[in-house]
């Protein structure tokens, strides 16, 4: 009887072990490319938006190790200061500053830029990292649908207001953290602000497609200035971005879905690698208007190549944010 039981269990244990090892390697594989080149960023000034947690925080940490001067532009000043303290402690780099920036408010963006320009006359790298994902229907202080408002319009104004400084400091770089989800997006020309109907997924994809369209439009406008602008997909990262995804927030979601998705999710540290690559790799000095994923060049969706929509969006964004490039 014992023997029968042993024989039954053996293959079972082996099978479970093999499965575990398989899952482990699958997760390793899904972590994606890493940016390993040594660079020395002493004297470089960098702004990272939305950097109190997740990919943004990991990006700041690595930049701090490379000795850059970093401005963490965050809405939640308290949490940002906590993150800053941890990073200072870990790297011994004391040139890290927290400044308040609410991308859902055009006034806050203008104030942030005014104050920044009083402190610094250089800007080498702007990392547009902040984002909201699939939130319920909400409006920004200026009445923009939240996802388009923060992911796109807010960064549009921020970038435009900092362009003079970036040009003066050239060679300099703008890095836009977009998402693979731009491939499912469409720009709703008749209802850009989702006033007639709202779907959280579509609004998210639209805002991310807008990022990629803008990156290409801006690259054209910046030709010959020494300022490059590129967009990227960080990968599926297990960060707080999903906090509005109802499916991940109930008990079932937490226990079952997160476990099932775990092998496919990058850690925030690995999610930051493509951002670091786009911001720092010397090989990309002259590369602009491109899209990266897993530390490599990737093609964008056909919808992101549509220059006519890009131009339409640019003009709308100038109107909405009362800014002219
Ligand atoms: C980095 O660059 C700075 C200034 O360019 C220099 O003073 C410093 O020694 C460099 N650091 C290393 C580790 O090479
Ligand atoms: C970091 O920067 C400081 C000055 O800002 C410089 O004295 C120091 O050598 C740099 N460290 C490294 C490792 O490059
Ligand atoms: C990317 O850059 C463009 C160009 O300025 C900007 O309008 C867009 O909102 C940016 N996207 C993100 C996520 O920062
Ligand atoms: C970028 O362009 C400049 C000027 O044309 C050139 O000197 C430099 O070698 C180029 N850098 C790279 C990495 O291709
Ligand atoms: C200016 C500054 O505090 N730089 C520090 C940043 O981090 C590096 C590496 O950890 C330190 O060597 C620098 O002194």
Instruction: Tell me the domain boundaries of the chain.
Output: 31-321
Taking residue 312's Cβ as centre, other Cβ atoms within 10 Å add up to: 15
**Pairing outcome for strands 291-293 and 296-297:** antiparallel
- Cα–Cα dist 116/125, whole Å: 14
Ligand 1, atom 14, lies closest to the CA of 40
Average confidence (pLDDT) over 279-287? 95
- Cα–Cα dist 243/254, whole Å: 11
- When pLDDT is cut at 50, 70 and 90, the band that residue 5 belongs to is low
- When pLDDT is cut at 50, 70 and 90, the band that residue 56 belongs to is very high
- Token pair listed for 24: 């482990």
What is this structure's pTM? 0.84
Q: State phi, psi for 179 to the nearest 5 degrees.
A: -165, 155
pLDDT tens profile 76-86: 999 999 999 99
- Token pair listed for 11: 């293959």
| Of 178 and 64, more confident | 64
- Cα–Cα dist 138/136, whole Å: 6
The CA-CA-CA angle for residues 144, 150, 151, to 5°, reads 120
CB within 6 Å of ligand 2 — which residues?
A: 40, 42, 67
Q: Does 40 sit in the ligand 1 pocket, CB within 6 Å?
A: yes
User: What's the fold here for domain 31-321?
Assistant: Rossmann fold (3.40.50)
Q: What pLDDT sits at residue 280?
A: 96
DSSP string, 295-319: TEE-PPPGGGG-HHHHHHHHHHHHH
Q: What pLDDT sits at residue 141?
A: 87
At 77 the three-state DSSP class reads helix
DSSP string, 109-148: HHHHHHHHHHH-S---EEEE-----SPPS-B-TTS-BHHI
Q: Does 249 sit in the ligand 1 pocket, CB within 6 Å?
A: no
Q: Are 188 and 194 in contact (CB under 8 A)?
A: yes
pLDDT tens profile 112-155: 999 999 999 999 999 999 877 767 788 888 888 888 888 888 99
- Ligand 5 centre and the CA of 62: distance in Å? 11
Q: State phi, psi for 50 to the nearest 5 degrees.
A: 60, 55
């Amino acid at each position: 009887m014992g023997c029968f039981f042993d024989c039954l269990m053996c293959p079972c244990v082996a099978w479970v072990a093999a499965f575990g090892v398989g899952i482990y390697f699958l997760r390793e594989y899904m972590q994606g490319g890493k940016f390993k080149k040594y660079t020395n960023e002493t004297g470089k000034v960098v702004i990272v938006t939305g950097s109190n947690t997740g990919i943004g925080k990991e990006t700041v940490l690595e930049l701090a190790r490379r000795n850059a001067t970093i401005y963490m532009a965050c809405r939640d000043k308290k949490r940002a200061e906590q993150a800053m303290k941890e990073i200072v402690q870990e790297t011994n780099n004391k040139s890290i500053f927290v400044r308040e920036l609410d991308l859902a408010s055009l006034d806050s963006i203008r104030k942030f830029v005014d104050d920044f320009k009083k402190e610094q006359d250089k800007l080498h790298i702007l990392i547009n990292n902040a984002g909201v994902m699939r939130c319920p229907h909400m409006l920004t202080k200026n009445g923009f649908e939240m996802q388009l408002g923060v992911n796109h319009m807010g960064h549009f104004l921020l970038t435009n207001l900092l362009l003079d400084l970036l040009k003066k400091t050239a060679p300099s770089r703008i890095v836009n953290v977009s998402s693979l989800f731009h491939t499912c997006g469409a720009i709703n020309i008749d209802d850009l602000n989702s006033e007639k109907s709202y779907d959280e997924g579509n609004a998210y994809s639209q805002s991310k497609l807008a990022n990629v369209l803008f990156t290409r439009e801006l690259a054209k406008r910046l030709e010959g200035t020494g300022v490059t602008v590129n967009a990227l997909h960080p990968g599926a990262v297990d960060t707080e971005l999903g906090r509005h995804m109802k499916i991940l927030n109930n008990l079932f979601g937490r226990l079952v879905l997160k476990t099932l998705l775990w092998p496919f999710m990058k850690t925030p540290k690995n999610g930051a690698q493509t951002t670091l690559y786009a911001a720092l790799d010397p090989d990309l000095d002259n590369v602009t208007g491109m899209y990266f994923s897993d530390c490599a060049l990737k093609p964008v969706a056909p919808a992101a190549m549509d220059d006519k929509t890009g131009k339409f969006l640019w003009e709308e964004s100038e109107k909405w944010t009362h800014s002219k490039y």
